[in-house]
Structure 1
Amino acid sequence: MSEEKSLNFLEEIIEKDIADGIHGGRVLTRFPPEPNGYLHIGHASSICLNFGLAKKYKGLCNLRFDDTNPVTEETEYVESIKADIKWLGFEWAAELYASDYFEQLYGFAVKLIEKGLAYVDDSSAEQMAAEKGDIGVPGKESIYRSRSVAENLQLFADMRAGKYPDGAKVLRARIDMAHPNLLLRDPIIYRIKHAHHHRTGDQWCLYPMYDFAHGQSDSIEKITHSICTLEFIHHRPLYDWFIEQLEIFPSHQYEFARRSVSYMITSKRKLLQLVNDKYVSGWDDPRMPTISGMRRRGYPAAAIRKFCDTIGVGKRENLVDITVLEFCVREELNKTAQRRMAVLDPVKVVITNYPEGKTEQLNADNNTEDEHAGTRSISFGRELYIEREDFMEEPVKKYFRLGPGLSVRLKHAYIITCNEIVKDADGNITELHCTYIPESKSGSDTSGVHVKGVIHWVHAADAVKATVRMYDRLFTVEDPANAEGDFKDHINTSSLSVLDQVWVEPALLQASENESFQFLRKGYFSLDRDSQPGHLVFNQTVGLKDTFAKEVKK
């Protein structure tokens, strides 16, 4: 009997809240991305956590876009985020936007002013920073802190009306300039930005700060468990202060630790640099840690969900080895990907004793791990392509593939023996002349000949030319975000290689975009959207095993 998985600390909190009847035992979470970039593997953890907790406890999860900064936000990002969440297998209870609440948030700010808990400040950003103090050093109160409620109300209304330029004034909460938590030293809650918003257009030139919009949006939606990453733990007292002073629904914030993945960058700013500086082809480049990039590379959604579940939820940040993610991908694809034969670096084989013009059909399993996958027919004839690495002119000890006088089994087919090597004027091998044993056909072998090696191949007569993109890790160091120097100094310049002389079996002409296959003995590959009729393009998803060199040559 399998051991039941223990609860993580968030599950323990939720179960206690349900048992105590908090919020009537109701569970409502939310995933609140800012639409200023594409989602990445870190967001996938948060998505799986918030939607997963809601599902486990028969609750709901909202998708709420934190669109309070019109300068960096675009509708393109909104649409990509929705597509990523759906692809991961989740459905939100409601699609909401912080901009839905701009009028209510403005009203909340007015209420704080009326209670004497907020004031308009004309100080420059530099002056406010200088007056903030430091840890153990009290800050200095602004000269504008003593403005009357009436003056603040008028100034705030004028800010909304567009009477002042960007940076001229801000609205600050009046809390405590000597508070040990620097975030509670009269934080800015509204700033002026004359910028076009992707949803509200030019209706507003006054926008709430994240710390003000976040908790109040949670409260408006009656979120029961507001789950954030650990860097927001020091923001929680401010989150609670606003809710308490406004006397609104008491949403509560909980924090969990980020899980970074080795050889990956998950800073949106740095990912944008990679895109803008053309280190990658775009946000969905298969080397990117974005969900769209992983989807294009062929990572199954189920594998990403499994990875997020495997690494778990904790209170301490750590760096997860990328091989854990690759293991989850490999394990899922092993169960689901159909098998095909593809020769990435071909050399021709001519079976000299096979009748010219003859072609026969052989039977091949689509996936031995799936009893419902069925079989396919593959053609066999006199001329084939095999991998160049499956032939060695001077075989070493314990080499069980093809070489002069050596025999090997062709997968699903016959045993062949190499008799002659044909080379061009430069000494390059162009053809291998072999003979086959007619009685050695797979499934009905009566030859009595036993060989240790089995290699894959494609029939030259109907093989289809394809392009294969081989990927390595984008960075040469485990933790590029914290490595010395500029993170771009650690980009792996050999992270992409393109093979354009690949031959694949014709069944792959029926492949659909993003469909995954195991190329026998080579790894897992996915059909890329760049494919055209008669020109297939595949992305390497992951190898059959980890072959990444631990040390990179300098």
Structure 2
Amino acid sequence: MSKPETPAAAANFLRPIVQTDLESGKHAKIITRFPPEPNGYLHIGHAKSICLNFGLAREFGGECNLRFDDTNPAKEDQEYIDAIQSDVRWLGFEWSGPVHYASDYFPQLHDWAIELIKAGKAYVCHLSPDEAREYRGTLTEPGKNSPYRERSVEENLDLFARMKAGEFADGACVLRAKIDMAAPNMNLRDPILYRIRHAHHHQTGDQWCIYPSYDFTHGQSDALEGITHSICTLEFEDHRPLYEWFLDNLPVPSKPRQYEFARLNLNYTITSKRKLKQLVDEGHVSGWDDPRMSTLSGYRRRGYTPASIRHFCDLIGVNRAGGVVDIGMLEFAIREDLDANASRAMCVLKPLKVVITNYPEGQVELLELARHPKQDMGVRALPFAREIYIDAGDYEENPPKGYKRLEPNGEVRLRGSYVIRADEAIKDAEGNIVELRCSYDPATLGKNPEGRKVKGVIHWVPVEGSLECEVRLYDRLFKSANPEKTEDGGSFLDNINPDSLVVLTGCRAEPSLAQAQPEDRFQFEREGYFTADLKDSKPGAPVFNRTVTLRDSWGQS
């Protein structure tokens, strides 16, 4: 199969909207924002939003804010805030000005809530959660007014003040907007503005025991920051009328416009933060940055590059159609990047000792091999001596048809070195091959002499000077393209791939890898693309993660 051509970036329906708004003078400068909730680590779906919001601002000379929508202190943590900032910067973007927090606007949101109460557009409701669901109605039936809906302004002001003062327990009551309990859009059926939560907040401490809802916070935060294009995923499309109702009924300094795009759905992948947290909490993975996770920190540790993820986001484009993206497309993007930029090296994953019987004992040649076949990355020195390691899979006593590696009395070329012939296999008491005795042809260094043919080329490392290392073979975390779906209606956990991580110890790497730094990336010839682990690898004692295999299954015919 031939290598596919690099596809062009897909369409982004928001780009012409922004361009028209600027050309018409509707906006002198665009201001976007990336507004994560700090209740987990960012995943590949967030990467699409980051590239979209920061990318539009960068392309059109605007600004993009980073704002944490931190309205639920019970699920938020400073660890997540720090990780999110690190991931945004790693992906190659920088936000405008300081980091923003929705909690920065809590005083203003509180004052606006009081304005709604005074205008008769908000009330304190004591319905229990179960009662509230019953009163809310269904998609086909209108809801019923709460029995507390017609409280006086004075009573609502008093009750809301007592909520803020901490007189009520969690869940005892809420502040709701008074809109329309018969509205076809259920988001307009008197939505919650404030809940009681006696919880310590990572930014405001114990200053508040009432917290605004996401819907009440989000649009007003956009307005306070002067956001021109409030870009979110399609699940918020039904929330847009409520977003606009708040802007129309409050004295906000600006009126942003909300636009929705299709979220990223990637097969073989889970992006629910709740389920990702479950994987971490229950020990199915080693942490949020486990290289099998769909988090950006996991992809980074596995060896994915920021450029490859940005390129992937360009390939999938921005539209409203939705659908599921093949994970092979993401693997294609990283493979293409590493093929062009990763240094070549050799590492034997399952070492088999080879003694070259006719090579002089004590003699060592320093061979020079290019670090990259096309890029000018210099050369690496590789000592060649009487004893080397090859991969155990590169010798077969009874080879299948089409086999192009070593077999009894067969020849093969060692990468960048000589042609050798397999003369004898040494076996242990159980019949396992533990050593090969081979001979080499000293006239075959470099190009083959005219007319000389060998079946194939294999990789190798010297016994003396090679580096013992650990290699972690990562595969997809889930064995099913749709991890959420199981035959018996079980949990997504039932679809975990038991072979998603295979750890190989005793591997042997060429000497040039002794100084590999964490996050250095290599193509191990014939094995795949590997990265020195961000946490566990160190010079002299490397640990390599398989980033992606050499085989490309996407975009080929």
| TM bin (shorter chain) | over 0.9
Instruction: Kindly indicate whether residue 228 of structure 2 is the aligned counterpart of residue 224 of structure 1.
Output: yes
Which residue is equivalent to 2:360?
355
Which residue is equivalent to 2:545?
539
Report the residue type matching 1:539 in the other structure: N
Identity of aligned residues (%): 56
Q: 2:321 aligned to 313, 316, 320, which one?
A: 316
SS at match of 2:38: coil
Which residue is equivalent to 1:256?
261
Report the residue type matching 1:112 in the other structure: L
Q: 1:404 aligned to 386, 390, 408, which one?
A: 408
Identify which range, 227-236 or 12-21, moves more after superposition: 12-21
Q: 1:530 aligned to 536, 550, 554, which one?
A: 536
Taking the aligned partners of 2:91 and 2:69, their CA distance within structure 1 comes to: 20
Post-superposition offset of 1:228: 0.5
- 2:516/2:542 contact within 8 Å kept: no
Taking the aligned partners of 1:198 and 1:6, their CA distance within structure 2 comes to: 40
Q: 2:69 aligned to 66, 69, 73, which one?
A: 66
- 1:338/1:518 contact within 8 Å kept: yes
Taking the aligned partners of 1:426 and 1:40, their CA distance within structure 2 comes to: 49
Post-superposition offset of 1:266: 0.4
Post-superposition offset of 1:21: 1.3
Which residue is equivalent to 2:392?
388
Q: 1:184 aligned to 180, 188, 199, which one?
A: 188
Post-superposition offset of 1:446: 4.4
Taking the aligned partners of 2:284 and 2:8, their CA distance within structure 1 comes to: 45
- 1:404/1:419 contact within 8 Å kept: yes
Alignment deviations for residues 495-541 of structure 1 (CA, whole Å, 9 cap, x no partner): 11111020001111111111111101100011112125542211110
Taking the aligned partners of 1:544 and 1:132, their CA distance within structure 2 comes to: 55
Taking the aligned partners of 2:41 and 2:148, their CA distance within structure 1 comes to: 40
Q: 1:18 aligned to 4, 22, 30, which one?
A: 22
Q: 2:39 aligned to 22, 30, 36, which one?
A: 36
SS at match of 1:417: strand
Which residue is equivalent to 1:419?
423
Report the residue type matching 1:541 in the other structure: T
Post-superposition offset of 1:401: 1.1
Report the residue type matching 2:312 in the other structure: F
Identify which range, 175-184 or 7-16, moves more after superposition: 7-16
Taking the aligned partners of 1:6 and 1:263, their CA distance within structure 2 comes to: 22
Post-superposition offset of 1:259: 1.6
Post-superposition offset of 1:397: 2.9
Post-superposition offset of 1:173: 0.3
Taking the aligned partners of 2:241 and 2:104, their CA distance within structure 1 comes to: 25
Post-superposition offset of 1:19: 2.2
Post-superposition offset of 1:7: 4.8
Report the residue type matching 1:467 in the other structure: E
- 2:412/2:455 contact within 8 Å kept: yes
Alignment deviations for residues 368-387 of structure 1 (CA, whole Å, 9 cap, x no partner): 2312x111111100000001
Alignment deviations for residues 467-498 of structure 1 (CA, whole Å, 9 cap, x no partner): 10111211111011244421011111111111
Alignment deviations for residues 171-190 of structure 1 (CA, whole Å, 9 cap, x no partner): 00000111111110100110
Alignment deviations for residues 227-255 of structure 1 (CA, whole Å, 9 cap, x no partner): 00010000000000000001321111110
Which residue is equivalent to 1:147?
151
Taking the aligned partners of 2:165 and 2:372, their CA distance within structure 1 comes to: 66
Which runs of 5 or more residues in structure 1 are unaligned? 549-554
Alignment deviations for residues 333-385 of structure 1 (CA, whole Å, 9 cap, x no partner): 011111110000111111000000110100100012312x1111111000000
SS at match of 1:416: strand
Post-superposition offset of 1:20: 2.0
SS at match of 2:75: coil
Post-superposition offset of 1:90: 0.3
Which residue is equivalent to 2:473?
470
Post-superposition offset of 1:219: 0.3
SS at match of 1:480: coil
Report the residue type matching 2:186 in the other structure: L
- 1:176/1:186 contact within 8 Å kept: yes
Taking the aligned partners of 2:140 and 2:400, their CA distance within structure 1 comes to: 71
- 1:191/1:207 contact within 8 Å kept: yes
Taking the aligned partners of 1:111 and 1:272, their CA distance within structure 2 comes to: 39
Which residue is equivalent to 2:163?
159
Report the residue type matching 1:542 in the other structure: V
- 2:387/2:463 contact within 8 Å kept: yes
SS at match of 1:261: coil
Taking the aligned partners of 1:284 and 1:354, their CA distance within structure 2 comes to: 47
Q: 2:378 aligned to 353, 357, 374, which one?
A: 374
Report the residue type matching 1:543 in the other structure: T
Taking the aligned partners of 1:522 and 1:27, their CA distance within structure 2 comes to: 47
Taking the aligned partners of 1:396 and 1:476, their CA distance within structure 2 comes to: 29
Which residue is equivalent to 1:9?
13
Instruction: Kindly indicate whether residue 160 of structure 2 is the aligned counterpart of residue 117 of structure 1.
Output: no
- How many corresponding residue pairs? 544
- 2:128/2:171 contact within 8 Å kept: yes
Taking the aligned partners of 2:485 and 2:429, their CA distance within structure 1 comes to: 52
What does 1:100-139 align with in structure 2 at a 5 Å threshold? 100-139=104-143
Instruction: Kindly indicate whether residue 334 of structure 2 is the aligned counterpart of residue 326 of structure 1.
Output: no
SS at match of 2:390: strand
Identify which range, 287-296 or 6-15, moves more after superposition: 6-15
Instruction: Kindly indicate whether residue 214 of structure 2 is the aligned counterpart of residue 247 of structure 1.
Output: no
Instruction: Kindly indicate whether residue 86 of structure 2 is the aligned counterpart of residue 83 of structure 1.
Output: yes
Which residue is equivalent to 1:57?
60
